[in-house]
């Protein structure tokens, strides 16, 4: 299993033409991957630098990847495991690609993702669409 061996990430955030956030920048950091019942937790710590700025902003996240025979469920545990937010199920869409089975609706914003396996990890491409959002975030998770 690839997930427990992930140790770092790098991402690029780009605001699309309809975005009102201007959320463009680069993030990077470390992943402490731990096994949990049914899956793996990613404890992410790092920084994000907004385009045009010199001072990075600290960031952290906790994601849980629960494996099933036919899918991987991705959950966000920023408020702890007992309050995990189910984001979406990722299902196979080819030999090395998974896609979100449906969008995750958070208020007026719709979140979806594509995961592509790589030799040394995987890429997770997020898409966020809403009345004020048109965001594209490409994570590179590596061993």
What are the DSSP calls for 54-93, one per residue? SS-EEEEEEEEEEE-SS-EEEEE-TT-GGGPEEEEEEEES
Going by pLDDT thresholds of 50, 70 and 90, the confidence category of residue 22 is confident
Q: What is the CATH number of the domain that holds 84?
A: 2.40.128
Asked whether the beta carbons of 117 and 2 are under 8 A apart, the reply is: yes
For residue 121, give every residue at least 6 positions away whose Cβ sits within 8 Å of its Cβ, in sequence order, or none: 2, 6, 140, 141, 142, 143
The predicted model scores a pTM of 0.93
- Per-residue pLDDT, 138: 98
Tally the domains of the chain: 1
**To which residue do tokens 């994601």 refer?**
63
Residue-range definition of the domain harbouring residue 69: 3-142
Residue 75 has pLDDT above 90, yes or no: yes
Return the structure tokens found at 61. Answer: 């996240």
β-pairing, 72-76 vs 85-92, is antiparallel
Going by pLDDT thresholds of 50, 70 and 90, the confidence category of residue 36 is confident
- Per-residue pLDDT, 78: 85
From CA 110, how far away is CA 14, in angstroms rounded?
16
């Amino acid at each position: 299993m690839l997930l427990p061996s992930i140790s770092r990430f790098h991402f690029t955030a780009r605001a699309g033409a309809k975005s009102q956030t201007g959320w463009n920048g680069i993030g990077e950091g470390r992943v402490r991957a731990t096994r949990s019942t049914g899956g793996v937790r990613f404890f992410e710590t790092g920084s994000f630098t907004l385009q045009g700025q010199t001072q990075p902003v600290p960031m952290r996240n906790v994601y849980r990847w629960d494996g099933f025979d036919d899918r991987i469920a991705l959950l966000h545990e920023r408020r702890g495991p007992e309050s995990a937010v189910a984001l979406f199920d990722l299902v196979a869409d080819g030999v090395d690609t998974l896609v979100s089975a449906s969008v995750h609706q958070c208020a007026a914003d719709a979140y979806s993702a594509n995961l592509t396996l790589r030799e040394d990890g995987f890429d997770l491409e997020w898409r966020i669409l809403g009345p004020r959002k048109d965001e594209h975030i490409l994570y590179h998770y590596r061993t």
